[in-house]
Amino acid sequence: MRQDMDRIERELMLLGRHTATGSIGRCGGPAEDRLERSAYLLLSRIEAQGPMSIGQLAEALRLDCSTVNRQTAAALRAGLLERIPDPEGGLARKLRVTDEGLRRLRRDRDERINGLSGLLNDWSPRELAAFARVLTRFNATVEREEGEPWPRSDQPRPTALLPLPLERGDTAAHDHTDHV
């Protein structure tokens, strides 16, 4: 088990490095037109959950309010977000993604997906499905620990991991009792 944990830690460190350097799902458009990482996260969260206040965003993203305030101010200036009255009648104003924000978010997401598709083009459909399930399960576990799940309305959450080998030639037995 320790050997597996060492390997997982190393691979997560490398995944963080690849993500930070833009090696994963590299966008093909002009760099100056791409969303910054913080804007991409903000817009994605608001798109998934609906209008949110600064405090709600800070809690959801596990950041302090001053950081989220700076990030949302930049997104407001860029026309990616707009302030609206709370649809539920609360006092705090909420932030909503503008049409321009949605257009740019979807364009960047499509470019990331295309980049990932090119990167993983030699993976079988079975390997891709297994990776998606395991990665979703891992993120859901982290979110459960944090107490702040990321809304996933676009696809159903997997209920169990199927016994799918992740490496070619892997014939080890799999535990069929693990559930998300």
Looking at residue 94, its pLDDT comes to 96
Quick one: 91 and 152 in the same domain? no
Residue with tokens 């960047």: 108
Looking at residue 165, its pLDDT comes to 46
- How many CA atoms within 13 Å lie on the side-chain side of 61? 27
Quick one: 40 and 72 in the same domain? yes
The model carries a pTM of 0.76
Q: Angle formed by the axes of helices 37-49 and 65-77, to 10°?
A: 90
Which of 122, 147, 166 is a domain's end point?
122
Task: Print the domain residue range for 179.
Answer: 124-180
With left for phi above 0 and alpha for psi between -120 and 50, is residue 25 left, alpha or beta?
left
Looking at residue 53, its pLDDT comes to 95
Quick one: 118 and 128 in the same domain? no
How many Cβ atoms are within 10 Å of 163's Cβ, its own excluded? 11
Quick one: 43 and 105 in the same domain? yes
Looking at residue 18, its pLDDT comes to 82
Measured between its terminal Cα atoms, the distance across the chain in Å is: 20
| pLDDT, tens digit only, all 180 positions of the chain | 899 999 999 999 998 888 777 777 665 555 667 899 899 999 999 999 999 999 999 999 999 999 999 999 999 999 999 999 988 888 889 999 999 999 999 999 999 899 889 999 999 999 999 999 999 999 999 999 988 888 886 544 433 333 444 444 444 334 433 433
Exposed (0-12), middle (13-18) or buried (19+): which is 137, by Cβ within 10 Å?
middle
Phi, psi values for residue 51, rounded to 5°: -50, 140
Question: How many domains are there within the chain?
Answer: 2
